[in-house]
C-alpha cells in the first residue's frame, strides 16, 4: 500500500509517499520562512496563498522522485493549525483521492509528530510516553497504541517552541527565532544567569513557559544598559533560557516515566531537534534505565512523511472519510479514535 501525505498546517508545505514494506519512497518540504521573515512571524493569509502555489508542484515532484504514477490512499493534515492553510491541503488531498478513486483520511497534526519516530530504526514499541514539543504544543502523552492516547500534562500558556520564538524576538534575533536562539546559546556563559525552572517545585506534569519568557525580557531590559558587550549579553541570556527550558522538560519527563512505569520515551515536534535537549534527555533517562527515541531532524519539523505514515496506519486499519471534509483549527489529541494496527 502506498499513501501520499500532504502537510499544510502552518508555514511549511510538505509532501511525501510512504509505501508498506519499503518505507519512505520520496519526500519534499518547502519552507515559507523567507515569506514571513519581514513580519517576524507567520501571516496566515500569506501562508495559505503560498500553500496554493506550492502543493501541486511538490506532489508532482515526489511522484516523479518515487518513479510512480499512482497511490492507494491520500492523507492530509486536517488539524490543528491555521484554518486557511489546512483547507488548502485538505481540498487538494480530497480532490486527488476522488479523482484516483482511493480512500482519503484527515490526519491529526500532532499524531503525525507522535508517530514520526516509528519511521526510524530502531522504532519504539508500544506502550511509551511521548513528549510532543513544538511551536504550538507542549504535551506529555501516555501512548498505548495508535489513537490510544492519554494526556498526562500540557502547557497552561505558551508552548516551549513558542517561548523560544518570543524570547528570540525580544533579543532581536532573526525569524525563525527558535533555531537562531539555540545557535546563539552555544556562545553563552552558562554561569552568568540562572533562570527559574517553572512549575518544577510542585507535583504534577503541567508546563508553563510564559513567565520564563517574561524573565528573559526583564533580564535583557535590566542588563543591556550597563552591558559592555551587548552581543555577549544576548548569548548569555539565550544560554540561560535554553537551559531552563531543557531542564524543565527533563524533570517533567522523568516524573512522567516514574508515574506511568514506562521505560521508553519518545520526543517529537520541532523543539525535539534541539541538540542540548537531546543530550540532557538521553543522560537523564538513562539513569532511570530507560531509552529515548527521536525522529531524524528532518522529520522533527512539519513534513509530509509523518502525515503519510500516520495516514497509512489509519487507512490500513479500515478508516477513511467521505467526500465532505472539515479541517479543525483546534483538535484535542485525546479525541482521536483508535486504529487497531499496533494497539496493545
- Does 236 lie in the same domain as 146? yes
- Does 275 lie in the same domain as 214? yes
- Does 259 lie in the same domain as 191? yes
Ligand-binding site membership of 109 (annotated)? yes
In the beta sheet, which residues pair with residue 154? 139
At 296 the three-state DSSP class reads coil
Residue 84 forms part of a structural domain: yes
Compute the average pLDDT of residues 36-46. Answer: 94
The H or E element that residue 292 is part of is: strand 291-293
pLDDT band at 214 (very low <50, low <70, confident <90, very high): very high
In our burial notation (b when 16+ CB lie closer than 10 A, e otherwise), range 230-259 reads eeebbbbbbbbbbbbbbbbbbbbbbbbbeb
Residue 239 forms part of a structural domain: yes
- Does 212 lie in the same domain as 97? no
Please tell me the predicted confidence (pLDDT) of residue 283.
98
Ligand-binding site membership of 274 (annotated)? yes
- Does 205 lie in the same domain as 173? yes
Ligand-binding site membership of 302 (annotated)? yes
Ligand-binding site membership of 201 (annotated)? no
pLDDT band at 250 (very low <50, low <70, confident <90, very high): very high
Ligand-binding site membership of 259 (annotated)? no
The structural domain count of the chain equals: 2
Residue for grid cell 513580519 = 39
pLDDT band at 342 (very low <50, low <70, confident <90, very high): very low
Q: What is the CATH number of the domain that holds 48?
A: 3.30.420.40
Residue for grid cell 543522560 = 283
pLDDT surpassing 80 at residue 340: no
Please tell me the predicted confidence (pLDDT) of residue 99.
97
pLDDT band at 343 (very low <50, low <70, confident <90, very high): very low
Residue 205 forms part of a structural domain: yes
pLDDT surpassing 80 at residue 341: no
pLDDT band at 344 (very low <50, low <70, confident <90, very high): very low
At 331 the three-state DSSP class reads coil
φ/ψ of residue 52, rounded to 5:
-60, -40
Ligand-binding site membership of 317 (annotated)? no
Could you read off the pLDDT of 251-270 as tens digits, one per residue? 999 999 999 999 999 999 99
Please tell me the predicted confidence (pLDDT) of residue 138.
98
**Contact between residue 32 and residue 88 where contact means Cβ atoms under 8 Å apart:** no
**Contact between residue 130 and residue 114 where contact means Cβ atoms under 8 Å apart:** yes
8-state DSSP, 107: E
**Contact between residue 177 and residue 164 where contact means Cβ atoms under 8 Å apart:** yes
- Does 54 lie in the same domain as 152? no
Ligand-binding site membership of 136 (annotated)? yes
- Does 234 lie in the same domain as 210? yes
Residue 342 forms part of a structural domain: no
What share of the chain has pLDDT > 90, as a percent? 95
pTM for the predicted model, two decimal places = 0.95
Compute the average pLDDT of residues 152-178. Answer: 96
- Does 282 lie in the same domain as 135? yes
Q: Cα–Cα distances in Å, from 334 out to 35, 45, 58, 129, 262?
A: 34, 29, 31, 14, 19
Ligand-binding site membership of 145 (annotated)? no
In the beta sheet, which residues pair with residue 108? 79
- Does 256 lie in the same domain as 131? yes
Ligand-binding site membership of 303 (annotated)? no
8-state DSSP, 102: -
Euclidean distance between CA atoms 88 and 14, whole angstroms: 12
**Contact between residue 205 and residue 251 where contact means Cβ atoms under 8 Å apart:** no
Compute the average pLDDT of residues 199-205. Answer: 95
8-state DSSP, 207: B
- Reference 14, options 331, 310, 330, 307; nearest CA is 307
Euclidean distance between CA atoms 111 and 118, whole angstroms: 12
- Does 150 lie in the same domain as 66? no
What share of the chain has pLDDT > 70, as a percent? 99
Q: Average pLDDT of the chain?
A: 96
At 303 the three-state DSSP class reads coil
Residue 134 forms part of a structural domain: yes
Instruction: Find the domain containing 164 and state its range.
Output: 126-294
Amino acid at each position: 500500500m502506498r499513501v501520499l501525505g500532504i502537510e499544510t498546517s502552518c508555514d511549511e508545505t510538505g509532501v511525501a509517499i510512504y509505501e508498506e514494506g519499503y518505507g519512505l519512497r520520496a519526500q519534499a518540504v518547502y519552507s515559507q520562512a523567507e515569506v514571513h521573515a519581514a513580519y517576524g512571524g507567520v501571516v496566515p493569509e500569506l501562508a495559505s496563498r503560498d500553500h496554493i502555489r506550492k502543493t501541486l508542484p511538490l506532489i508532482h515532484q515526489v511522484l516523479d522522485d518515487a518513479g510512480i504514477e499512482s497511490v492507494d490512499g491520500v492523507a492530509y493534515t486536517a488539524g490543528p493549525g491555521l484554518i486557511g492553510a489546512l483547507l488548502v491541503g485538505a481540498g487538494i488531498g480530497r480532490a486527488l483521492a476522488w479523482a484516483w478513486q482511493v480512500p482519503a483520511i484527515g490526519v491529526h497534526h500532532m499524531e503525525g509528530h507522535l508517530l514520526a519516530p516509528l519511521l526510524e530504526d530502531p522504532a519504539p514499541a508500544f506502550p511509551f510516553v511521548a513528549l510532543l514539543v513544538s511551536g504550538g504544543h507542549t504535551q506529555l502523552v501516555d501512548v498505548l497504541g495508535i489513537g490510544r492516547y492519554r494526556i498526562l500534562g500540557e502547557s497552561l500558556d505558551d508552548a516551549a517552541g513558542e517561548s523560544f520564538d518570543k524570547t528570540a524576538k525580544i533579543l532581536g534575533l532573526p525569524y525563525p527565532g527558535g533555531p537562531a536562539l539555540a545557535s546563539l546559546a552555544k556562545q553563552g556563559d552558562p554561569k552568568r544567569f540562572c533562570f527559574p525552572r517553572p512549575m518544577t517545585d510542585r507535583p504534577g506534569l503541567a508546563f508553563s513557559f510564559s513567565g520564563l519568557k517574561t524573565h528573559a525580557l526583564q533580564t535583557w531590559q535590566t542588563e543591556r544598559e550597563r552591558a559592555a558587550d551587548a552581543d555577549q549579553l544576548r548569548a548569555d541570556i539565550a544560554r540561560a533560557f535554553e537551559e531552563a527550558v531543557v531542564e524543565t522538560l527533563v524533570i517533567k519527563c522523568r516524573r512522567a516515566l516514574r508515574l506511568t512505569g514506562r521505560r521508553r520515551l519518545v520526543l517529537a515536534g520541532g523543539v525535539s531537534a534541539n541538540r542540548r535537549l537531546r543530550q540532557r534527555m538521553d543522560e537523564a533517562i538513562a539513569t532511570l534505565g530507560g531509552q529515548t527515541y527521536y525522529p531524524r531532524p528532518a522529520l522533527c519539523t512539519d513534513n509530509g512523511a509523518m502525515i503519510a505514515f500516520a495516514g497509512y496506519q489509519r487507512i490500513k486499519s479500515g478508516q477513511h472519510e467521505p467526500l465532505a471534509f472539515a479541517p479543525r483549527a483546534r483538535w484535542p489529541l485525546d479525541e482521536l479514535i483508535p486504529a487497531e494496527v499496533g494497539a496493545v
